[in-house]
Chains A and B, each alone.
Chain A
Amino acid sequence: MIYLDNGATSFPKPHSVYSEMMKAMKTCGGNPGRGSNTLARRASDTIYKLRECAAEMFGAESENVILTYNATHALNLAIKGLARDGCHILMSDIEHNSVRRPVASLCRQRGCTYDVYPSCGGDAGKIIENLQKLVKDNTKLLVMCHTSNIANLTLPAYEIGKFCRKRGIAYVIDASQSAGHIPVDLKHFGADAVCIPGHKGLYGPAGTGLLIIRDGQMIEGLMEGGSGVNSIEDTMPDFYPDRLEAGTLSAPLAAGLCRGISWVRCVGIQNIHAHECELSGLLLDYLCDMDGIRVYNGGAGQLTSTVLFNVSAIPSVRVGELLDNSGICVRCGLHCSPLAHKTLKTGDGGAVRVSFGAFNTVDHVRRLVDEVHYIKKYEN
Chain B
Amino acid sequence: MSESIITMRSETYAAKASKLLTRYGLRCRIVSVDPALTSRGCSVGVAVNYYDVKEVKRLLNGANITFGEVLGQREF
A binding-site residues for B, Cβ under 8 Å? 32-33, 35-36, 41, 44-45, 47-48, 51-52, 62-63, 227-233, 237, 239, 241-242
Contacts and interface: CB of A to CB of B under 8 A. Distances in A.
B10 A229 contact: yes
B31 A230 contact: no
A51 B10 CA distance: 14
Interface in B18-40: 19, 30-32, 35, 39-40
Nearest to B8: A229
A44 B15 contact: yes
28 contacts: A32-B11, A33-B10, A33-B44, A36-B30, A44-B15, A45-B15, A48-B15, A51-B12, A52-B19, A62-B15, A62-B16, A63-B16, A227-B10, A228-B42, A228-B44, A229-B9, A229-B11, A230-B41, A232-B35, A232-B39, A232-B40, A239-B9, A239-B10, A239-B66, A241-B12, A242-B9, A242-B10, A242-B12
A240 B40 CA distance: 17
In which size bucket is the chain B interface? 10 to 19
Given A62-B16, A229-B44, A230-B43, A44 B35 contact: no
Interface of B: 9-13, 15-16, 19, 30-32, 35, 39-44, 66
A68 to B, nearest CB: 15
A79 B32 CA distance: 35
Contacts, number: 64
Nearest to A226: B42
B70 to A, nearest CB: 17
Given A229-B40, A231-B40, A36 B31 contact: yes
